[in-house]
Amino acid sequence: MTKNKNNQVIWNTRINKNGSSLFQRVGNSIDIDKRLYKEDIKASTAHVEMLFKQKIISFKIKNKIIYGLTKINNEIKKNKFEFKKKYEDIHMNIEKRLFEVIGDEAGYVHTARSRNDQVITDFKIWIKSATNEINNNIDKIIKSTIKLAEKNIKTVMPGFTHLKNAQPISFAHYLMSFVEMFNRDKKRFLNNLDSLNENPLGVAALAGTSFKIDRYYTTKKLGFIRPTNNSIDTVSDRDFVLDFLYASSVCSMHISRIAEELIIWNSDSFNLIKLTDKVVTGSSIMPQKKNPDLLEYLRGKSGNAYGNLFSMLTILKGLPLSYHKDLQDDKELVFKSNDNLNNCLKIFNEILKNCKPNKSVMLKLANKGYTTATDLAEYLSINYSMSFRKAYQKTAMVVNYAEKRKKKLNELTLEELKKIEPKLKEDVLKVFDLNNSIISKKSYGGTSFDNIKKMILKYKKND
């Protein structure tokens, strides 16, 4: 490594002319990847400790480098570090500053590594902790959801299919479906840890190195589980980026679906939920308005997450192995998806805390649309040993009869029902009771009040 005269970029010793200023402007990534500074310093520190242990650098040089890196870490933390676009990225900015702080011996820090393995090492460490933060935010949502569910076990509403009233359910059961979605999201992020836990450091540019390094040592030091197996694949691989962007997209999609449903329920036509003033906004012209803008924000932001995922997939499509500049955009996409998702998770948690069911409207709506028809069909099948299809047909006749007479199912008399199925007894009338309908859905995972209580308890215990 030669001395850096005339402010030349470190790797530019064979390039005589200064690069195009336009490229310097567009090709740098410092404004984005400076977020990796802590990880970069941590990885460089582990790297030089390994180099010393392997007798590749002396004790004195190792200490000097670590001293310089620690100083730089503090400078950046205290906003006293000047990031320069001409040094392209965080790695070169730190290395360049290391020369200023400790002098020529800084030239040893880049022994047996390349920016190609350096950047992925930093990035994987960063994504691992981002995964943690996202899962913590998801946990908060799960807690708020369970809290709201606990208060609404007996809140009856219609469940929908095709957005048409289908069957009576407990509002809590609906809420507990969020918990399943968000638990899957958590698992999806956690599953990604397997490949994130493979340490890239030491594969160097693409071929490995002739220095006698110990990749197991840096693996342990940096909290990875094992070193990656193939140096070419290591510097080419961005599957872990796709995994993160995909997990973020699915989680955003879940939020978007729920947001859309709550928007519908908050509409004046449905009026199933109330949002407090904390999470609605007014209109500039219509003084009466309270709009669910935050929910709309959440619904829309999934588009952003998908965009980032598809950008990365497109960058990788047809890209030859191993490292290419194209890959540099990976960080911007991940940072954007990460920030976006954390915002959405926080907003959604706020909405959950500021959302109340309109219980009487829910109940009234559950009484519309013959929602207990399936209960009658099941009752006939169970008690009169009819095939389900036969029971279904009889029930359809009952619904037709009720519809013609503009009656609800629970307004039909036993005599009227007997016209369709003479064997029926008084006992049949209870199937049209909404609570009874819910209580009867005892099959595992069904909406019965008892099931919900058990499920809530189970999730509270897992806490």
Among 89, 105, 122, 375, binds ligand ARG (CB under 6 A): 89
Identified catalytic residue from 162, 269, 360, 385: 162
> Which token pair is 383?
């008690």
With respect to ligand ARG, which residue has the nearer C-beta, 206 or 247?
A: 206
Cα–Cα dist 140/145, whole Å: 9
How many residues appear in the chain? Answer: 463
Cα–Cα dist 358/295, whole Å: 18
Contact 231, 207 (CB under 8 A): yes
Q: Does 93 bind ligand ARG (CB under 6 A)?
A: no
Total binding residues toward ligand ARG, as defined by CB under 6 A: 9
Q: Which stretch binds ligand ARG (CB under 6 A): 114-122, 272-280, 333-341, 379-387?
A: 114-122
- Residues numbered 268-297 forming contacts with ligand ARG, rule: CB under 6 A: none
Q: Does 116 bind ligand ARG (CB under 6 A)?
A: yes
Going by C-beta distance under 8 Å and a sequence separation of 6 or more, which residues neighbour residue 71?
101
> Is residue 461 left, alpha or beta, with left meaning phi > 0 and alpha meaning psi from -120 to 50?
alpha
Q: Which stretch binds ligand ARG (CB under 6 A): 151-159, 321-329, 380-388, 421-429?
A: 321-329
Among 4, 10, 29, 167, binds ligand ARG (CB under 6 A): 29
Cα–Cα dist 344/422, whole Å: 57
Cα–Cα dist 9/76, whole Å: 20
Burial of residue 69 (number of CB atoms within 10 Å: 0-12, 13-18, 19+): buried
Contact 137, 340 (CB under 8 A): no
Q: Is 162 part of the annotated catalytic residue set?
A: yes
Among 115, 186, 299, 394, binds ligand ARG (CB under 6 A): 115
- Residues numbered 30-59 forming contacts with ligand ARG, rule: CB under 6 A: 33
Cα–Cα dist 119/113, whole Å: 10
- Residues numbered 138-197 forming contacts with ligand ARG, rule: CB under 6 A: none
Cα–Cα dist 54/43, whole Å: 16
Residue 327: CB minimum distance to ligand ARG, A: 5
Residue 26: CB minimum distance to ligand ARG, A: 13
Q: Does 221 bind ligand ARG (CB under 6 A)?
A: no
Q: Show the binding pattern over residues 324-353: x = contacts ligand ARG (CB under 6 A), - = does not.
A: ---xx-------------------------
Q: Which residues bind ligand ARG (CB under 6 A)?
A: 29, 33, 89, 115-116, 119, 323, 327-328
Q: Which residues are catalytic?
A: 162, 283
